[in-house]
Amino acid sequence: MKKLGLYVHIPFCQQKCFYCDFPSFAGQEAFYASYTRALVREIVDQGACHSAETVDTLFIGGGTPTVLPLPLLAEICQVICQSFQVADDAEWTIEANPGTVDAEELYQLRKLGINRLSFGVQSFDEGLLRRLGRIHTVQTAICSVEQAQAAGFSNLSIDLMTGLPGQTLEQLQHTLEEAAKLPLRHLSVYALKVEEGTAFAVDEQAGHLHLPDEALDAAMDDFVVSFLSKQGFSRYEISNYAQKGFACRHNLKYWHYQPYVGLGAAAHSFLNGRRQANTPDIAAYIAAMTKGQSAVIFSETLGGAEARGEMIFLALRTTAGLLFHDYAKQFNRNFLQDYENILVNLRQQGLICQNKQGISLTNLGMKFGNVVFRTFLP
């Protein structure tokens, strides 16, 4: 039976963080119930279209899914299980913000079948949390992770950030040391990118952001890799680290060019080489679902060199890299013949390494991933 990933988007947050350009909105409580009804309708419809597939990974992301009242989250989970064939050993993740779930809710989420929890923590420095516009304190973050463990979650992850305004190497070291004390299996560590339309973009324009310089950014990157590896967390993707056996199976689907269905406003799907996205507009999404119409506003099927380039750069984000036989299986072509000249250049620059099975980024290549990815795109 074919395997399928499911992504469910909950586009609500308690407050908008200053750096965030994700499709998430604060102050939309009035939509919680109607959004859930619309989502349930899409889950049922899509379940009927995928009755021949087994869902082996599910990811409820956002936004902050745990701002939804528990009965609504429970309804979503129950309808997923009734509408799709969910494998007994499926990885089922939910994202949460510290302080948006209490001990009892965590216990109930675990009982619903969710077995992996990812907290957005970003930093264990109070000043930086305030600078980011986060809703929680350091203590709340620590307490939430510990409560999740007590509720039965043994697969816990947190997100952290580097390259923050005013951030020092010492602050990053302290943050990683605090993280290392927690019962975590996985960490995502993202470098801040100032996105258009965010409060940080306004600050940057006004000259008030004070970001670390390139040398400090590079030092932070090196420090993260070396510190986490000493703690038993291997880097398996540019921004992701896990103990053995705890890489996020759902996210690996994105990088391995495997199919997934996205449900909810702004959710993306990838099926049979076709990418599509639902409208990010919550009211428009609800209206479409209520009328039994499609919420898809974007759809494209990549072909030829574009599709090949996309598969290559997604695979190269992982430390396992691109395997020649995966490429041959997907496109019925020979990778080494297709990209001979490019490979010579990238090897000479020290950006990739190559063996009999495939290619992957070197440590230097990880720092300049975008340079490598561009060379494979037409």
Binding marks (x or -) toward ligand SF4, 23..42, rule CB under 6 A? -x------------------
Residue 157 interacting with ligand SF4 (CB under 6 A): no
Task: Tell whether the torsion through CA atoms of 100, 55, 242 and 183 is positive or negative.
Answer: positive
Residue 267 interacting with ligand SF4 (CB under 6 A): no
Decide the pairing of beta strands 2-10 and 260-263. parallel
Q: At its nearest, how many Å lie between ligand SF4 and the CB of residue 280?
A: 13
Window of 14-22, 173-181, 211-219, 285-293 that interacts with ligand SF4 by CB under 6 A: 14-22
From candidates 4, 10, 13, 38, binder to ligand SF4 by CB under 6 A = 13
By three-state DSSP, how is residue 221 classified?
Answer: helix
Task: Tell whether the torsion through CA atoms of 63, 69, 72 and 74 is positive or negative.
Answer: positive
Residue 120 interacting with ligand SF4 (CB under 6 A): yes
For residue 352 the two structure tokens come to: 């990739």
Window of 58-66, 219-227, 257-265, 329-337 that interacts with ligand SF4 by CB under 6 A: 58-66
Q: At its nearest, how many Å lie between ligand SF4 and the CB of residue 174?
A: 21
Q: At its nearest, how many Å lie between ligand SF4 and the CB of residue 201?
A: 14
Question: Which residues lie closer than 8 Å to 215 by C-beta, 6 or more apart?
Answer: none
d(CA 277, CA 303): 18
152 with 115: CB under 8 angstroms? no
Question: Which residues lie closer than 8 Å to 6 by C-beta, 6 or more apart?
Answer: 55, 57, 58, 59, 80, 84, 260, 261, 263
Question: How many other CB atoms sit within 10 Å of the CB of residue 356?
Answer: 5
Q: At its nearest, how many Å lie between ligand SF4 and the CB of residue 137?
A: 15
Q: At its nearest, how many Å lie between ligand SF4 and the CB of residue 197?
A: 12
Residue 368 interacting with ligand SF4 (CB under 6 A): no
Q: At its nearest, how many Å lie between ligand SF4 and the CB of residue 262?
A: 16
For residue 102 the two structure tokens come to: 């209490």
Give the binding-site size for ligand SF4 (rule: CB under 6 A): 11
Residue 97 interacting with ligand SF4 (CB under 6 A): yes
List the alpha helices (DSSP H) in 116-265.
126-132, 138-150, 169-180, 199-205, 214-230, 249-255
**In the complex, which residues of this chain contact ligand SF4 (CB under 6 A)?**
13, 16-17, 20, 22, 24, 62-64, 97, 120
